[in-house]
Structure 1
Amino acid sequence: MTLKTAHAAALALILATTALAGPALAAGASDTEQERTARWQEIAKSIFGDRAIETTDSLVKIDAPARALDAALVPITLTMPEPSRIKAVSLVIDDNPAPYAAKFEFGPAADPAELKLRVRVNNYTDMHAVVETQDGKLYEAKQFVKASGGCSAPMGMSDEEAMKGMGDMRMKFAESQPGKPVEATLMIRHPNFSGMQMNQVTRDYTPARYIDKLTVSAGDQKVFTMTGDISIASNPVINFAFKPDGKPLQVAASDNAGGSWQHSFTPPSPTN
């Protein structure tokens, strides 16, 4: 199942049931471990088909707050201690309306030892990180997070204000050393509307508009391609590492409404 297909089906369901369910949507707090396991098995089959997924405590780890301070802005760190073995990683937020939050596919210029991003969490939920290794096997880790309402939380400003400067990008680089990967933080101006947020003036739902593809390249080598959905927080911030080759980083982003943006960033020269 693609992210777009999962998004369309799940969002239609959640909007249809929101008015009836109301506060009951937060009832995920009372789900049993058996119910959560059954939910994950259903999601995993819809995304990965019949491929076996092994549990791991060494190939990928999730670091997330046990109780989120802001459900619309939950910081997530994915740590992959054996980066040379990692081909891709998928983040699944089981009880979000569109659980398949993002997939990162790494290229030869990537150093996927650590990846940071911010997400929306709509309910008390398990999160799963599933890595695909270079030999095509799948491994997963999970963490339970207490948060509620992140996908429908208003942005605190008008839609027009939220869309100002959409597509603007900035990038910060950590100090680089010869022969070492460089850590970078990419910031993109984009509201990433979930389709569940209500316009406080018109009382209508703001149509979903979110970054669905992001590609970062170093010269002619890919660092990563991200396929995203509504669970990525507004104004996405992604922290990653890459192997510099002296050439600028090229960033290309597109959203589900046809918007597209490109930007180039020059990494700092290595220091001894």
Structure 2
Amino acid sequence: MKPFALALALSLSAGAISAGAAHAAGASDTDEERAARWREIQTSIFGDRKVETTDALIKVDAPVRAMDAALVPITLTMPEKDRIAAVHLIIDDNPSPYAAQVTFGPAADPGELKLRVRVNNYTNVHAVAETKDGKLFETTKFVKASGGCSAPMGMSDEEAMKGMGDMRLKFAGEPQGGKPMEATLMIRHPNFSGMQMNQLTREYTPARYIQRVEVSYGAKNVLTLTGDISISSNPVINFAFLPEGKGPIRVVASDNQNGRWEQSFDAPSPSN
């Protein structure tokens, strides 16, 4: 597969299609136009690799109509989790469609993943599962939303950047040996999209967003997320890991302006 940065650049180029073009984004697009748009994006990200449609390997849950286009909850469910190596989230009509790539490590339980994203237009959201044998399978959800990538944060840039890089990690339930444990990672970061206008200066705030998040448990990788401007401000990632052995859980996050933050968390010990 092409590296994320190259695929992202190509999908950005594909996203620059003018409003009068045959595959223009918008609520009035036909099914055929949306299908053509997806073929372009699919080729830019995955090249000539075959992407099969599935209703079993991956499912995407999202609101049909988003209450807040800048904070749209997405849940990816992988029923046959033992087959899954990675997932790719593509928001077809966003300015940069390739929202996130998540690769699972040996300490992960890839059964479910939750993110909050920006949605800029009425669009198909594609979730692509990559299996351990290198095959690709996709499913689709249509979401109605508008303006999520340009929506202002309702505060000054300076206020939005206070505490940037601070992290919290919460666990759900009590750990039990051999069973996955759910965790919620919260990272303080404005994830400026480059499309948001500063309400005081009336100038556009330069893009500054989390590009990479690595989560490990002890010596084992849990997941690595590569993202872009489609991830909402103050990213929240819900994931599951296998609490075998001892922690800590270590999180390393970096952004596109060379910001880097690292924090370790005590992991609950599993019961015998």
Query: Which TM class, normalised by the smaller chain length?
Result: over 0.9
| Aligned partner (choices 82, 89, 92) of residue 91 of structure 1 | 89
* Contact in 1 for aligned 2:218/2:249 (Cα 8 Å): yes
Normalising by structure 1, we get a TM-score of: 0.92
Structure 1, gaps ≥5 residues long: none
- Is 1:42 paired with 2:33? no
- In structure 2, what is the equivalent of residue 215 of structure 1? 214
- Give the 5 Å matches for 1:1-272: 2-5=3-6, 28-175=26-173, 176-245=175-244, 246-271=246-271
* Contact in 1 for aligned 2:15/2:94 (Cα 8 Å): no
Alpha-carbon distance in structure 1 between the residues aligned to 2:108 and 2:13: 36
Structure 2, gaps ≥5 residues long: none
- Aligned residue for 1:254, secondary structure, equals strand
CA positional deviation for 1:247: 1.4
Q: Percent identity?
A: 71
CA 1:12–1:209 in 2, change beyond 3 Å: closer, same or farther?
Answer: farther
Alpha-carbon distance in structure 2 between the residues aligned to 1:33 and 1:263: 45
Which has more helix, going by share of residues? Answer: 1
* Contact in 1 for aligned 2:168/2:187 (Cα 8 Å): yes
CA 1:202–1:75 in 2, change beyond 3 Å: closer, same or farther?
Answer: same
CA 1:139–1:241 in 2, change beyond 3 Å: closer, same or farther?
Answer: same
* Contact in 2 for aligned 1:166/1:189 (Cα 8 Å): yes
- Aligned residue for 1:28, secondary structure, equals coil
Alpha-carbon distance in structure 1 between the residues aligned to 2:194 and 2:233: 12
Alpha-carbon distance in structure 2 between the residues aligned to 1:211 and 1:78: 20
CA 1:202–1:14 in 2, change beyond 3 Å: closer, same or farther?
Answer: farther
CA RMSD of aligned residues (A): 2.0
* Contact in 1 for aligned 2:14/2:41 (Cα 8 Å): no
1:84-115 Cα shifts (integer Å, max 9, x gaps): 10000000000000000000001100001000
Q: Give aligned pairs, total.
A: 265
Alpha-carbon distance in structure 2 between the residues aligned to 1:44 and 1:10: 9
